[in-house]
Amino acid sequence: MSVAVRRIWLCADDYGMAPGVNKAIRQLIEQKRINATSVMVVGAAIDRAEVNALTASVVVNADCAIGLHVTLTAPFHPLTMHFKPLHGTRFLPLASLLQSAFLRRLDPEIIEAEVLAQISAFRDLFGRTPDYVDGHQHVQLFPQIRDGFLAAVKRSAPDAWARQCGRAIPQSARLANPKAFLLDALSATFRKKCVRTNTKFNAGFAGAYDFSAQKDFGELMRSFLDALPNGGLIMCHPGFVDETLSATDPVTLQREREFAYLSGNEFPLLLQACNATLARN
């Protein structure tokens, strides 16, 4: 008896962060090694030329979706004038934003206005609304932020689906990865709110790991695929290191290791062995 092939999303985050990130993502799209990318409209490398180049890559690979990577953390700047709290003129660092969210010090209406502005910026760049909406550093899952986030998506991109980051693995295995365990917990509430707002979301999630450890990405990818259900999503962060990336984000060389694996000969064989495909549903 044959087993049905799992159709999954492999999403490269951070298009628009740096030219080297953009170039790597476009190459993987054209190789048909990924089928989604999330665009940062507040990034340092998002302009008409970069948008046109991405659009041309998607023409080569029609299975590739383009989403909005909502960004609410430093070192990036808000699009709205009255966004708060800020660290100078920038968004708060991740740890400070997470603390503010859990202490209920944020205003969901201010969050909604910023997300609406980023959706509008995406529409201006691409001439349409995003296929899906997610969050840089998973901010869409945080308390209070998720309310403003989902309100904005419902209002301005109602046909888009949202990324939840809960894994489809046994409860006994969840504690092995503290970062992923936190995402599991936050995603449980996020999914409930998606259901209430009639917002579609991905069936499962994988891709969280310790970026500071030089782990074999092929082994990680196999573990990501093991428990991923049909319609699930794996996030990845491929890129080439350049000056803009080094000045913006601590995840650098690991991006090149991810690109090398995803563009190499082993990855298609792994997909086949795991009975998975990147073709759209």
* DSSP per-residue string spanning 107-135: -HHHHHHHHHHHHHHHHHHHSS--SEEEE
> What would the pLDDT profile of 246-265 be if each residue is shown by its tens digit?
999 999 999 999 999 999 99
> Whole-angstrom Cα distance, residue 70 to residue 124?
15
Flag whether 175 is in a domain: yes
178: confidence class by pLDDT, cuts 50, 70, 90: low
Q: How many CB atoms lie within 10 A of CB 2?
A: 5
> Whole-angstrom Cα distance, residue 55 to residue 60?
9
Flag whether 52 is in a domain: yes
Q: Which domain holds residue 268?
A: 6-273
pLDDT at 190 over 70: yes
> Please, what is the average pLDDT of the chain?
94
Flag whether 279 is in a domain: no
Flag whether 105 is in a domain: yes
| Per-residue confidence (pLDDT) for residue 113, from 0 to 100 | 98
Flag whether 118 is in a domain: yes
Mean pLDDT (whole number) for 152-175: 83
Residue recorded with tokens 């909406």 = 133
169: confidence class by pLDDT, cuts 50, 70, 90: low
E-strand stretches of the chain: 6-7, 9-15, 36-39, 65-70, 132-135, 161-162, 205-206, 233-236, 276-277
Using CA atoms, how far residue 199 sits from 101, 152, 195, in Å, is: 22, 11, 6
Of residues 176 and 40, more confidence is placed in 40
Mean pLDDT (whole number) for 124-152: 98
Contacts of 253 (CB under 8 A, 6+ apart): 241
Whether the CB-CB separation of 163 and 201 falls below 8 Å is answered with: yes
Flag whether 278 is in a domain: no
Entry pTM: 0.95
Mean pLDDT (whole number) for 159-185: 78
Flag whether 108 is in a domain: yes
198: confidence class by pLDDT, cuts 50, 70, 90: very high
- CATH code of residue 48: 3.20.20.370
Flag whether 1 is in a domain: no
Number of domains in the chain: 1
10: confidence class by pLDDT, cuts 50, 70, 90: very high
Kindly state the tokens that stand for 262.
């995803």
